[in-house]
Chains A and B, each alone.
Chain A
Amino acid sequence: MVAIPSRVVTALAVETRDLVREYKGGVRAVNGVSLAVASGEVYGFLGPNGAGKSTTVRMLCTLLRPTAGWAKVAGHDVARDAAAVRRSIGVALQDAAIDPYMTGRELLRLQGVLHGLSRQGCRDRADVLLDRVGLVDAADRRVGTYSGGMRRRLDLALALVHEPVVLFLDEPTTGLDPLSRVTLWDEVRRLNTELGTTVFLTTQYLEEADQLVDRLGIIDDGRIVAEGTPRELKAQVGDPTLAVTPVRAEDRARAREVLSGFGPEVLGAHGCVAVRLAAGAEGLAAVVRAMDDAGVAVREIDLAEPSLDDVFLAATGRHLEGDEAPAPAGPAPAASR
């Protein structure tokens, strides 16, 4: 029996309604999550440790039974039709250990056999996937010699052996260095655009959510507290921040006076004056003209959209903890702590 699933055409790749997971003692790790992920979408769960991200993913992957509500993956109910769900999904769970004494190629072929591919099919699929994730040169080395980034890419390849329609990635880049992180993002993006694979990922990194996902659910305390595209979410939080650094320090008071007409002042970095730009990004030209008219020589002018951390702050009243993602180049988002 060849267990390659035919590509199930459903409008929704993942759908949950009032999903609850209660542990013994009444603790609700997931407390009424309703969401819908369209086919071909990259959906991300952003939240701190213990928010319920992994528990939700474990329910969607048929590893944990929901205690209330329901969930469908690729059109199949996770509790009633788990076998069909398992044929449709690829899973790379958090920190999954990979046999250090086997080679990448051996593990991929083993995964092929487990999914019912023919002998030749296993070989071919291993070759294709090794190439896809850039591990051709390391294919016959034992996994114990791989770097963290290589292991994660192998983990990704293992989840793709049977061409799943939905791919679950639980914190795919936690603990990776920035370069490996970017490489993995590229892989995930390519998968999504070239094969149309729906991706459901969890992350505690703001930058990852910003860079990788089409749509984002912010999860805190087992509930989705905000949802939308990163752009929408940021727009909901409010106006962009404009920071002006005058050439001469003594001009700062004057700059503050000018800027006060454009929006309320906010705390900016050292040496600059910052306001929430009430007119939005379109107001930038007027600010520049006003500065010029007032005779303030400007060294630097910085227009920054609200960051996802601002979004998280607005939704939960806290900053996102555990965000160790390196600050991206360019205007730095507000500090994460």
Chain B
Amino acid sequence: MSWDGSAARQTGALAWRSVVTTVRLPQAWVPALFFPLVLMAIFTASFGGAPGNIPGFPPVRSFLDFAVSGAIVQGVLIGGTTAGAAFATDIEGGFFDRLVASPVSRTAILTGRLGASVVLGIAQALLFVGIAELFGADVAGGPGGFMVLLLITALFAVAVGGLGVFLALRFGSAEAVQGMFPLFFALLFFSSAFFPRETMTGWFRTAADWNPISHLVEAMRDEVVGGAEPGTVIAGVAIALTLAVLAVGASALAFRRRLREAP
């Protein structure tokens, strides 16, 4: 795999194509916006201004402050599934073959798709934070905290997008990739994405402790809610980075394996 100026331009072009085709297909992005927002609204309406009365809940001005990070992570998970399914469709439909039979940089085929995941993930985070702020939430961590939020979002988008691409390369079928979606959802609910770990007990608590999503969300959430500990933030960024590296590595290997037939 080679990287040069033309590979960067090809990445940009392929990322642009992925973003455009996603944006023009409402089925591809409406769920990624709709479900997290609905969930955020339901939780906020259910708990209102009362989370302080729940034992173990951190002091927050509004439940929205607490919920927005979980919504972003949920949106990224849905978006990654969509990206993986789209990549599988490219393989099934022949677009992938057309790329492979052309002088396009092999790396750009991967980075283009992942770049689109980052763009869409960041756009989604901006939208969710914007909406939350409209209803009274605020990022307590200020611009720095906001950057941490976006950094983790971007890294996690690469991780989930990479996992989607990996599944697409291994199975070559959009349906197979979409079949993984419930698993992602389970992973999300067995984490502290919607409730603080302090409110959990028993095996559920153990699962959430070990779930990397818990640590990502907590790092983001502390920047919004306020009082972010450097340790929590560093752990969140490090875990997001690790997941991203693992997913990209796995997808690169699967890519190489699939290209074994193409000299």
A96, B98: Cβ atoms closer than 8 Å: yes
State whether A62 and B262 are in contact (beta carbons under 8 Å apart), knowing that A1-B4, A102-B17 are contacts in the complex. yes
Contact with B along A280-320 (1 / 0, CB 8 A): 00000000000000000000000000000000000000000
How far does the alpha carbon of A64 sit from the alpha carbon of B258 in the complex, in Å?
Answer: 11
For residue A107, which residue of chain B has the nearest CB? Answer: B17
A123 at the interface (CB under 8 A from B): no
B17, A3: Cβ atoms closer than 8 Å: no
B262, A64: Cβ atoms closer than 8 Å: yes
Contacts of B260 in A (CB 8 A): 65
Main secondary structure of the interface of B (DSSP, over half): helix
Contacts of B103 in A (CB 8 A): 3, 83, 86-87, 115-116
B94, A63: Cβ atoms closer than 8 Å: no
A89 at the interface (CB under 8 A from B): yes
Q: A136 to chain B: closest CB distance in Å?
A: 22
Within A79-117, which residues are at the interface with B (CB < 8 Å)? 79-80, 82-83, 86-87, 89, 91, 93-99, 101-102, 106, 110, 113-116
A99, B6: Cβ atoms closer than 8 Å: no
Q: B18 to chain A: closest CB distance in Å?
A: 10
B10, A113: Cβ atoms closer than 8 Å: yes
B4, A79: Cβ atoms closer than 8 Å: no
Q: B263 to chain A: closest CB distance in Å?
A: 4
Q: Which one, A1, A87, A142, contacts B6 given CB within 8 A?
A: A1
Contacts of A82 in B (CB 8 A): 262-263
B102 at the interface (CB under 8 A from A): yes
Q: B66 to chain A: closest CB distance in Å?
A: 37
A65, B261: Cβ atoms closer than 8 Å: yes
* Interface-central residue, A101, A102, A106, A158, by most chain B CB under 10 Å: A101
How far does the alpha carbon of A110 sit from the alpha carbon of B98 in the complex, in Å?
Answer: 13
A99, B99: Cβ atoms closer than 8 Å: no
B17, A79: Cβ atoms closer than 8 Å: no
How far does the alpha carbon of A98 sit from the alpha carbon of B96 in the complex, in Å?
Answer: 11
- How many interface residues does B have (CB within 8 Å)? 30
Q: A130 to chain B: closest CB distance in Å?
A: 18
Contact with A along B246-260 (1 / 0, CB 8 A): 000000000000001
Q: B209 to chain A: closest CB distance in Å?
A: 43
How far does the alpha carbon of A93 sit from the alpha carbon of B98 in the complex, in Å?
Answer: 8
For residue A84, which residue of chain B has the nearest CB? Answer: B103
How far does the alpha carbon of A102 sit from the alpha carbon of B6 in the complex, in Å?
Answer: 23
Q: B200 to chain A: closest CB distance in Å?
A: 43
- How many interface residues does A have (CB within 8 Å)? 34
A199 at the interface (CB under 8 A from B): no
Main secondary structure of the interface of A (DSSP, over half): loop
State whether A101 and B94 are in contact (beta carbons under 8 Å apart), knowing that A64-B261, A86-B103, A91-B101 are contacts in the complex. no
Q: Which one, B92, B94, B262, contacts A93 given CB within 8 A?
A: B94
How far does the alpha carbon of A253 sit from the alpha carbon of B97 in the complex, in Å?
Answer: 61
Q: A35 to chain B: closest CB distance in Å?
A: 20
B95, A97: Cβ atoms closer than 8 Å: yes
Contacts of B6 in A (CB 8 A): 1, 3, 116
A62, B263: Cβ atoms closer than 8 Å: yes
B100 at the interface (CB under 8 A from A): yes
Contacts of B102 in A (CB 8 A): 86, 91, 114-115, 162
Q: Which one, A63, A110, A113, A115, contacts B262 given CB within 8 A?
A: A63
B38 at the interface (CB under 8 A from A): no
B123 at the interface (CB under 8 A from A): no
State whether A113 and B97 are in contact (beta carbons under 8 Å apart), knowing that A62-B263, A64-B262 are contacts in the complex. no
Contacts of A224 in B (CB 8 A): none
B263, A91: Cβ atoms closer than 8 Å: no
B231 at the interface (CB under 8 A from A): no
Q: Which one, A79, A94, A102, A158, contacts B263 given CB within 8 A?
A: A79
B263, A65: Cβ atoms closer than 8 Å: yes
A78 at the interface (CB under 8 A from B): yes
CB<8 Å pairs between A and B, sample of 30: A1-B5, A1-B6, A3-B6, A3-B103, A61-B101, A62-B100, A62-B101, A63-B97, A63-B100, A65-B261, A65-B262, A93-B97, A94-B94, A97-B92, A97-B93, A99-B17, A99-B95, A101-B21, A101-B24, A102-B17, A110-B13, A110-B16, A113-B9, A114-B10, A114-B104, A115-B102, A116-B103, A142-B24, A158-B98, A162-B102
A interface residue numbers (CB < 8 A to B): 1, 3, 61-65, 78-80, 82-83, 86-87, 89, 91, 93-99, 101-102, 106, 110, 113-116, 142, 158, 162
Q: Which 8 A-B pairs have the closest CB atoms?
A: A97-B93, A96-B94, A101-B24, A113-B13, A82-B263, A61-B101, A91-B101, A79-B263
Extra contacts besides A96-B97, A98-B95, A114-B10 (12): CB < 8 Å: A64-B261, A64-B262, A65-B260, A83-B103, A87-B103, A97-B95, A102-B17, A102-B21, A113-B9, A114-B14, A116-B103, A158-B98
